[in-house]
Amino acid sequence: MRRIRSGRHLLAPAVLLVLAVGCSGPGAGSGSGSDRTGQQITVFAASSLTDVISTMNEAYDGGGQLLINLGSSAQLTAQLRSGAPADVLITADLEALQAVRDEGLLGAEQVVAGNTSVLALAPGNPGKVQALADVAQESVQVALCAPSVPCGRAAERVLAAAGVMVSGESREDSVRSVLTKVATGQADAGLVYQSDALSAANQGVTYLEVTDPEPNQYPAALTAEGAEHEAAVRFYEWLAGEEAARILRSAGFQPAGT
Protein backbone atom coordinates (compact mmCIF):
# COMPACT_ATOMS: atom_id res chain seq x y z
CA MET A 1 0.00 0.00 0.00
CA ARG A 2 1.28 3.43 -0.86
CA ARG A 3 -0.51 6.70 -0.22
CA ILE A 4 0.36 10.34 0.31
CA ARG A 5 -0.14 11.67 3.81
CA SER A 6 -0.26 15.17 5.26
CA GLY A 7 2.90 16.42 6.94
CA ARG A 8 1.02 17.90 9.93
CA HIS A 9 3.05 15.94 12.49
CA LEU A 10 6.31 17.40 11.18
CA LEU A 11 7.79 20.84 11.64
CA ALA A 12 8.36 21.66 7.97
CA PRO A 13 6.59 20.72 4.74
CA ALA A 14 7.60 17.30 3.46
CA VAL A 15 6.32 14.37 1.47
CA LEU A 16 5.09 11.50 3.59
CA LEU A 17 4.52 8.01 2.25
CA VAL A 18 2.79 5.38 4.33
CA LEU A 19 4.07 1.99 3.19
CA ALA A 20 2.62 -1.19 4.65
CA VAL A 21 5.22 -3.88 5.25
CA GLY A 22 3.82 -7.23 6.33
CA CYS A 23 1.31 -5.51 8.64
CA SER A 24 -0.64 -7.57 11.12
CA GLY A 25 -2.71 -6.93 14.20
CA PRO A 26 -4.95 -4.02 15.16
CA GLY A 27 -3.97 -0.45 14.38
CA ALA A 28 -1.72 -1.34 11.46
CA GLY A 29 -3.14 1.44 9.32
CA SER A 30 -2.46 4.27 11.76
CA GLY A 31 -0.91 7.39 10.24
CA SER A 32 0.43 9.09 13.38
CA GLY A 33 4.20 9.51 13.43
CA SER A 34 4.26 8.87 17.20
CA ASP A 35 1.73 6.00 17.34
CA ARG A 36 3.42 2.62 17.89
CA THR A 37 0.32 0.49 17.29
CA GLY A 38 0.77 -1.75 14.28
CA GLN A 39 4.57 -1.55 14.74
CA GLN A 40 4.90 1.67 12.78
CA ILE A 41 8.45 2.63 11.78
CA THR A 42 9.09 6.31 11.06
CA VAL A 43 11.92 6.70 8.54
CA PHE A 44 13.43 10.04 7.54
CA ALA A 45 15.12 9.53 4.13
CA ALA A 46 17.10 11.86 1.86
CA SER A 47 15.28 12.87 -1.32
CA SER A 48 17.79 11.01 -3.49
CA LEU A 49 16.29 7.80 -2.07
CA THR A 50 12.81 8.68 -3.36
CA ASP A 51 12.63 5.96 -6.01
CA VAL A 52 14.56 3.19 -4.30
CA ILE A 53 12.60 3.37 -1.04
CA SER A 54 9.50 1.91 -2.71
CA THR A 55 11.51 -1.05 -3.98
CA MET A 56 12.91 -1.56 -0.51
CA ASN A 57 9.40 -1.55 0.89
CA GLU A 58 8.31 -4.29 -1.50
CA ALA A 59 11.28 -6.45 -0.53
CA TYR A 60 11.30 -5.89 3.23
CA ASP A 61 9.31 -8.51 5.14
CA GLY A 62 10.43 -7.78 8.69
CA GLY A 63 6.96 -6.62 9.75
CA GLY A 64 5.58 -3.21 10.55
CA GLN A 65 4.40 -0.17 8.67
CA LEU A 66 6.90 2.30 7.22
CA LEU A 67 6.04 5.99 7.49
CA ILE A 68 8.53 7.65 5.14
CA ASN A 69 9.38 11.34 5.36
CA LEU A 70 11.32 12.41 2.23
CA GLY A 71 13.27 15.66 2.13
CA SER A 72 16.70 17.19 1.87
CA SER A 73 19.16 15.96 4.49
CA ALA A 74 19.32 19.45 5.98
CA GLN A 75 15.54 19.62 6.28
CA LEU A 76 15.30 16.19 7.88
CA THR A 77 17.98 16.81 10.49
CA ALA A 78 16.42 20.18 11.33
CA GLN A 79 13.08 18.47 11.89
CA LEU A 80 14.66 15.85 14.13
CA ARG A 81 16.46 18.50 16.18
CA SER A 82 13.17 20.36 16.58
CA GLY A 83 11.47 17.33 18.09
CA ALA A 84 9.87 15.55 15.13
CA PRO A 85 9.52 11.81 15.88
CA ALA A 86 11.72 9.46 13.87
CA ASP A 87 13.12 5.95 14.27
CA VAL A 88 15.62 5.78 11.40
CA LEU A 89 17.39 8.64 9.61
CA ILE A 90 19.15 8.15 6.25
CA THR A 91 21.10 11.14 4.94
CA ALA A 92 23.07 11.73 1.75
CA ASP A 93 26.41 12.27 3.45
CA LEU A 94 28.15 11.79 6.78
CA GLU A 95 28.47 15.49 7.56
CA ALA A 96 24.69 15.91 7.65
CA LEU A 97 24.53 13.75 10.79
CA GLN A 98 26.99 15.81 12.81
CA ALA A 99 24.52 18.21 14.44
CA VAL A 100 22.07 15.49 15.53
CA ARG A 101 24.98 13.35 16.68
CA ASP A 102 26.32 16.20 18.82
CA GLU A 103 22.91 16.61 20.45
CA GLY A 104 22.78 12.95 21.46
CA LEU A 105 19.82 12.14 19.23
CA LEU A 106 21.34 9.04 17.63
CA GLY A 107 21.62 5.52 18.98
CA ALA A 108 23.68 3.78 16.26
CA GLU A 109 25.06 4.48 12.79
CA GLN A 110 26.16 2.51 9.74
CA VAL A 111 27.04 3.36 6.14
CA VAL A 112 24.67 1.56 3.78
CA ALA A 113 25.69 2.88 0.33
CA GLY A 114 27.81 5.24 -1.69
CA ASN A 115 26.76 7.55 -4.53
CA THR A 116 29.01 9.21 -7.07
CA SER A 117 28.32 12.52 -8.79
CA VAL A 118 27.64 12.82 -12.52
CA LEU A 119 26.78 15.68 -14.86
CA ALA A 120 23.14 15.31 -15.90
CA LEU A 121 22.17 16.76 -19.29
CA ALA A 122 18.78 18.09 -20.36
CA PRO A 123 16.85 16.07 -22.96
CA GLY A 124 18.46 16.57 -26.36
CA ASN A 125 21.49 18.27 -24.78
CA PRO A 126 20.47 21.80 -25.87
CA GLY A 127 23.57 23.27 -24.24
CA LYS A 128 25.80 21.02 -26.36
CA VAL A 129 27.72 20.01 -23.25
CA GLN A 130 30.46 17.49 -24.03
CA ALA A 131 32.57 17.72 -20.87
CA LEU A 132 32.42 19.14 -17.36
CA ALA A 133 34.53 22.12 -18.45
CA ASP A 134 31.68 23.25 -20.71
CA VAL A 135 29.56 24.31 -17.71
CA ALA A 136 31.90 27.28 -17.28
CA GLN A 137 30.55 28.78 -20.52
CA GLU A 138 28.11 31.65 -19.99
CA SER A 139 25.78 30.19 -22.61
CA VAL A 140 25.24 27.02 -20.55
CA GLN A 141 22.51 27.17 -17.90
CA VAL A 142 23.70 25.18 -14.88
CA ALA A 143 21.84 23.96 -11.79
CA LEU A 144 23.71 22.95 -8.64
CA CYS A 145 22.75 22.20 -5.06
CA ALA A 146 23.42 24.81 -2.40
CA PRO A 147 26.76 24.24 -0.61
CA SER A 148 24.96 23.72 2.71
CA VAL A 149 23.45 20.38 1.60
CA PRO A 150 25.19 17.09 0.72
CA CYS A 151 24.75 17.31 -3.05
CA GLY A 152 26.12 20.86 -2.94
CA ARG A 153 29.19 19.80 -1.00
CA ALA A 154 29.70 17.02 -3.55
CA ALA A 155 29.36 19.47 -6.44
CA GLU A 156 31.93 21.81 -4.89
CA ARG A 157 34.42 18.93 -4.58
CA VAL A 158 33.89 17.83 -8.18
CA LEU A 159 34.27 21.35 -9.59
CA ALA A 160 37.33 22.09 -7.45
CA ALA A 161 39.01 18.84 -8.49
CA ALA A 162 38.44 19.71 -12.15
CA GLY A 163 39.47 23.35 -11.73
CA VAL A 164 36.14 24.51 -13.16
CA MET A 165 34.50 27.78 -12.12
CA VAL A 166 30.77 28.29 -12.60
CA SER A 167 29.01 31.66 -12.37
CA GLY A 168 25.34 32.58 -12.45
CA GLU A 169 24.22 29.06 -11.66
CA SER A 170 20.90 28.16 -10.07
CA ARG A 171 21.34 26.91 -6.49
CA GLU A 172 18.78 24.40 -5.20
CA ASP A 173 18.00 22.95 -1.78
CA SER A 174 17.96 19.31 -2.89
CA VAL A 175 19.31 17.08 -5.62
CA ARG A 176 15.76 16.37 -6.79
CA SER A 177 15.25 20.08 -7.43
CA VAL A 178 18.40 20.11 -9.59
CA LEU A 179 17.22 17.01 -11.45
CA THR A 180 13.79 18.55 -12.08
CA LYS A 181 15.37 21.67 -13.58
CA VAL A 182 17.50 19.55 -15.91
CA ALA A 183 14.70 17.16 -16.86
CA THR A 184 12.33 20.02 -17.71
CA GLY A 185 14.94 21.98 -19.67
CA GLN A 186 15.13 24.85 -17.20
CA ALA A 187 18.83 24.03 -16.95
CA ASP A 188 21.14 22.59 -19.60
CA ALA A 189 23.16 20.62 -17.07
CA GLY A 190 23.41 19.90 -13.38
CA LEU A 191 25.59 17.93 -11.00
CA VAL A 192 23.50 15.18 -9.42
CA TYR A 193 24.07 11.69 -8.05
CA GLN A 194 24.32 8.84 -10.52
CA SER A 195 21.24 7.19 -9.02
CA ASP A 196 19.18 10.31 -9.71
CA ALA A 197 20.37 10.62 -13.30
CA LEU A 198 19.48 6.99 -13.95
CA SER A 199 16.01 7.49 -12.48
CA ALA A 200 15.32 10.26 -15.03
CA ALA A 201 16.45 8.32 -18.11
CA ASN A 202 12.82 7.80 -19.12
CA GLN A 203 12.47 11.60 -19.26
CA GLY A 204 15.31 11.88 -21.76
CA VAL A 205 17.99 12.84 -19.24
CA THR A 206 21.49 11.58 -20.05
CA TYR A 207 24.70 12.10 -18.13
CA LEU A 208 28.45 12.41 -18.39
CA GLU A 209 30.74 10.72 -15.91
CA VAL A 210 32.98 13.10 -13.97
CA THR A 211 35.88 12.63 -11.58
CA ASP A 212 34.38 12.50 -8.10
CA PRO A 213 37.26 12.62 -5.61
CA GLU A 214 35.08 11.59 -2.67
CA PRO A 215 31.75 9.91 -3.51
CA ASN A 216 29.08 10.56 -0.92
CA GLN A 217 28.55 7.94 1.76
CA TYR A 218 24.96 7.35 2.86
CA PRO A 219 24.69 6.68 6.60
CA ALA A 220 21.62 5.14 8.18
CA ALA A 221 21.21 6.10 11.82
CA LEU A 222 18.98 4.55 14.44
CA THR A 223 17.69 7.41 16.55
CA ALA A 224 17.71 7.30 20.33
CA GLU A 225 13.94 6.86 20.13
CA GLY A 226 14.19 4.17 17.46
CA ALA A 227 16.71 2.19 19.50
CA GLU A 228 13.87 1.46 21.93
CA HIS A 229 11.55 0.30 19.14
CA GLU A 230 11.99 -3.37 18.18
CA ALA A 231 10.46 -3.05 14.71
CA ALA A 232 12.72 -0.08 13.93
CA VAL A 233 15.81 -2.00 15.03
CA ARG A 234 14.86 -4.86 12.68
CA PHE A 235 14.51 -2.49 9.74
CA TYR A 236 17.79 -0.75 10.60
CA GLU A 237 19.59 -4.10 10.67
CA TRP A 238 17.98 -5.13 7.38
CA LEU A 239 19.41 -2.01 5.72
CA ALA A 240 22.92 -3.41 6.27
CA GLY A 241 22.11 -6.75 4.66
CA GLU A 242 22.68 -8.13 1.18
CA GLU A 243 19.08 -7.73 0.02
CA ALA A 244 19.08 -3.99 0.71
CA ALA A 245 22.55 -3.67 -0.85
CA ARG A 246 21.36 -5.41 -4.01
CA ILE A 247 18.38 -3.06 -4.31
CA LEU A 248 20.60 -0.02 -3.86
CA ARG A 249 23.12 -1.25 -6.45
CA SER A 250 20.37 -1.86 -8.99
CA ALA A 251 19.27 1.77 -8.55
CA GLY A 252 22.76 3.12 -9.28
CA PHE A 253 24.16 3.36 -5.76
CA GLN A 254 27.59 1.97 -4.93
CA PRO A 255 28.49 -0.50 -2.18
CA ALA A 256 29.10 1.04 1.22
CA GLY A 257 32.63 2.39 1.61
CA THR A 258 33.23 3.03 -2.12
Residue 48, annotated ligand binder? yes
Residue 250, annotated ligand binder? no
Q: DSSP labels for the chain?
A: -EEEE--TTSSS--EEEEEE-S--STTTT---TT--TT-EEEEEEEGGGHHHHHHHHHH--SSSEEEEEEE-HHHHHHHHHTT---SEEE-SSSGGGHHHHHTT-EEEEEEEEEE-EEEEE-TT-TT---SGGGGGSTTS-EEEE-TTSHHHHHHHHHHHHHT----S-EEESSHHHHHHHHHTTSSSEEEEEHHHHHHTGGGT-EEEE---SSPEEEEEEEETTGGG-HHHHHHHHHHTSHHHHHHHHHTTPBPTT-
Residue 73, annotated ligand binder? yes
Residue 218, annotated ligand binder? no
Going by the annotation, the residues of the binding site for molybdate are 48, 73, 175, 193
Going by the annotation, the residues of the binding site are 48, 73, 175, 193
